[in-house]
Amino acid sequence: MYFVVTARTSERYSQGIAPPFGYYEPIRIEAGEKEDGWRLSKLLERRLGVSRKLLSRLKLTEQGLMINGVRAYSGDPVSSGDIAEIRMEQERSEDILPQDLPLEIVYEDKWVLLASKPAGMVVHPTHGHYTNTLANAAVHHWQQAGENVRFRPVHRLDEDTSGLVLLAKNPYVHQQLSEQHGDGRIRKQYAAYTYGVPEIPAARIDAPIDRDPDSPHHRIVTPSGYASATRYETLAVYGGRASKVRLRLETGRTHQIRVHMGWIGCPLIGDLMYGPAAAGAGVGSWEEAAGRQALHAEMLSFEHPMTGEEMTFTAPLPPDLERLERLLQQDSIQGHDEGEGRTR
């Protein structure tokens, strides 16, 4: 359930009415000697990194700001030894239909959930995709576990890209992880299979990306675009006709890997928007084996917002890309000309 800040909801808070689902576990810190006399807002901003947006929200929550177990205000001073805490209302994604769908959970605690998304699944409901999304599956999972959690993805993957997606389970954790994602502290690594072989085995692609003015869903490299950088390393070459590459994103533009690899002449196998199929080529055995763009988010690393621990997780290649790799290896050994098997 969502609460819009209106005169009515402000009155609700002033009357001391508890939120319908209760609170998430409080986050507490003890004020030190150097922080004696600080405003509560300054302590929370400096020590916890609480954003102004979240602080404004906590001000409107009945027990959002506390000092030594007593409701406080952002301008209240703290003394050395005081225990300051924030409490966030538990929420649900009431606008997302819970669905009992397969959900591969790589890691979960009370703060985060890391899932491995299959290809063909949208992360969040959008126009035309109201069901069968990662959000529907996650909301059902939390409902069954008796948890009141709103769906908050830290980042997204394209529908036909498989691999790791990180979800935050409360507003503070989402804010912290979003900041990590924005400044590049969340490291993401991808495996991809491409047509052709990169001229330079390992390099950094620094090419700005923006929307194609002729196609709103399409992205292009253009000097006037947003700064975009991708690092790649060639792991295997299949008969000089295809490659397996490892990629790391320095920025996170829409379709970035697909656009950058196409720009250097090595589009992803099976990519219907930026690959040969977009130029009118038919479907061959490689595309049939993959059944989608050959891109997999295989590794994700982040600093846990609550423990400070550096956490790294991996997701193995899904069966469709394992099948594609075997076919590429076989074609390489046999010297098979993939072009001969493609319908034009």
- Asked whether the beta carbons of 255 and 293 are under 8 A apart, the reply is no
- Nearest residue to 105 (alpha-carbon basis) of 164, 148, 158: 164
SS3 222: coil
Joined together, the tokens standing for residue 343 give 């319908």
pLDDT of residue 287: 84
pLDDT of residue 281: 46
- Nearest residue to 338 (alpha-carbon basis) of 330, 260, 192, 259: 330
Task: Collect the ranges in the chain with pLDDT lower than 50.
Answer: 1-17, 278-283, 338-344
pTM of the model: 0.85
pLDDT of residue 10: 39
The pairing of strands 152-153 and 83-86 is unpaired
pLDDT of residue 285: 81
pLDDT of residue 11: 41
* Alpha carbons within 13 A on the beta-carbon side of 232: 29
pLDDT of residue 282: 46
- Asked whether the beta carbons of 56 and 127 are under 8 A apart, the reply is no
pLDDT of residue 20: 66
Q: How far is CA 93 from CA 2, 54, 96, 150, 242, in A?
A: 8, 18, 6, 5, 43
- Nearest residue to 48 (alpha-carbon basis) of 71, 25, 67, 29: 29
Contacts of 47 by beta carbon, 8 Å cutoff, 6+ apart: 29, 35
| Domains in the chain, CATH or no CATH each | 7-86 (3.10.290.10), 92-182 (3.30.2350.10), 184-344 (3.30.2350.10)
pLDDT of residue 162: 98
Which of 82, 95, 100, 158 is catalytic? The answer is 158
* 158: annotated active-site residue: yes
Instruction: Convert the pLDDT of each residue in 327-344 to its tens digit.
Output: 999 988 776 554 443 432
- Nearest residue to 297 (alpha-carbon basis) of 153, 162, 180: 162
